[in-house]
Amino acid sequence: MEPKFKVPARPSKLDRFAQKLSDWLRVEAGKSRKQRRTAKQMHADLVVLGYEGSYERVAAFVRAWKAERQREQQTSGRGTFVPLVFGPGEAFQFDWSEDWAILGGERTKLQVAHTKLSHSRAFIVRAYPLQTHEMLFDAMTQAFRVLGGVPRRGIFDNMKTAVDRIGSGKARQVNARFAAMASHYLFEP
């Protein structure tokens, strides 16, 4: 059994001002970031009202209030979320981005293929001049080689090189060449 020290409840100089500070924090939360008062400004305002305690105590109160508010938002209403958890070999994510590089002294736009294992978050990034089927197939082949295998499922973001038509809901018409590649590597897009 681990010994625990029970901290006795002690009155704080902030107790008299806790409700006022909570009200201020609720109002400040509705403002844009640049318009909000800082904890130092609130401490100064409390001193004007007669607070004789330290800034550190006010800052600790503000941190605790914000943490509690975040916890409430994550467990109710709009802030609810479901954490994404993947087993080893279950899925990979693939997407394209654009970046620039100096090639042969000229600024060149590149299409960057990102492949990431969903469980381990291991990834590979490769740059290409275009987003064509050949580039996509090479990116996938090299990713599977470097990452050491092919997960059972691939997560894609409606890429034009993979999806011909988007239907209602999750219905997609996958490109025939892309479907052949997925069939070759035995993953479900």
User: Residue 162 half-sphere exposure, CB side, CA atoms within 13 Å?
Assistant: 19
Instruction: Give pTM, 2 decimals.
Output: 0.54
Spell out the residues 6+ positions from residue 186 whose beta carbon is closer than 8 angstroms to its own: 150
pLDDT mean for each 10 residues of the chain (189 residues): 79 90 91 88 93 92 90 62 80 93 94 94 94 92 94 85 81 87 92
